[in-house]
Amino acid sequence: MTQITLNVNQQPQHCVSPISIAELLALKQLEKKGTAVARNNNIVSKSQWSATYLNHGDTLDIFTLVAGG
C-alpha cells in the first residue's frame, strides 16, 4: 500500500492507495444518493465509482444536494 495525496474540494487529503471513489465517499460518510463527483474536471458516473481508482495528485470535486426553502 502507498500513501497518496488528493485534492478534494480544494483541500489536500491523504489516503492509502489503492482507493476507489466509492471507498473515499464511504470514508467521508457521504451518501450515494444526491452526490455527484468530478475527477480531474470530468464527471464520473455513479456506476463507475467502485471501478474508478484514484491516483496521487487527482483533483476531486464532490457535490451534494442540499434541500432548503
- Say what the pLDDT of residue 68 is: 74
pTM value? Answer: 0.92
The rounded distance, in Å, linking the Cα atoms of 41 and 32 is: 19
Tens digits of per-residue pLDDT, 28-51? 999 899 999 999 999 999 999 999
In sign, the C-alpha dihedral spanning 23, 43, 61, 54 is positive
